[in-house]
Amino acid sequence: MVVDARDPLFYRCPDLEAYAQEIDEHKRTLLLVNKADLLPPAERKKWAEYFKSNGILFIFWYAKSASVVEGKSLGKKWEEEQSAQESIYYDIDSKIYGRDELLARLQTEAKAIVSSRKDSTEMETHGASNDPIP
């Protein structure tokens, strides 16, 4: 679910998250916190702490960073500013993900869901076969 970093709780929809869980207990909702570059690193860190303490899976993202892939450049000044800010307040939870990092994280989450489903199915299968027949 994509939310605006300036007010993520306003854009977050817990009902949609609950619906996804109802459909498939193994599904996990991930908040893609867009426009994260507009938040100072200290504020991103506070949001990260809030999300973690409430069990919310999240990633900070800056959609315009994907424009580099499309042949556009964000400019050296922006990159230097981001690098300077990140070095002062660096925290893995408040890091702004790039395109490749986002894709890798999504793949990791997808593998975790598949593994969870597989484990659940195996438990049901083995549990049923171990039950004594009356």
How does pLDDT run across 52-99, given as a tens digit for each residue? 999 999 999 988 765 554 445 555 655 566 565 555 455 778 888 888
Q: Give the strands of the sheet with 2-4, arranged side by side.
A: 2-4, 30-34, 57-61, 96-97
Query: For residue 82, with 0-12 CB atoms within 10 Å meaning exposed, 13-18 middle and 19 or more buried, which class applies?
Result: middle
Query: Tokens 């869980």 label which residue?
Result: 21
Is the pTM of the predicted complex or chain greater than 0.75? no
Query: Tokens 């800056």 label which residue?
Result: 62
Q: Report, as an integer, the average pLDDT of 16-40.
A: 90
Question: To the nearest 10°, the Cα dihedral for 83, 104, 73, 34?
Answer: -70
pLDDT at 28: 83
CA–CA dist 128, 121 (Å, integer): 11
Tokens of 35: 């426009």
Q: 58 and 5 in contact (C-beta within 8 Å)? A: no
- Other Cβ atoms less than 10 A from the Cβ of 96: the count is 22
Instruction: Note the pLDDT tens digit of each residue in 32-58.
Output: 999 999 999 999 999 999 999 999 999
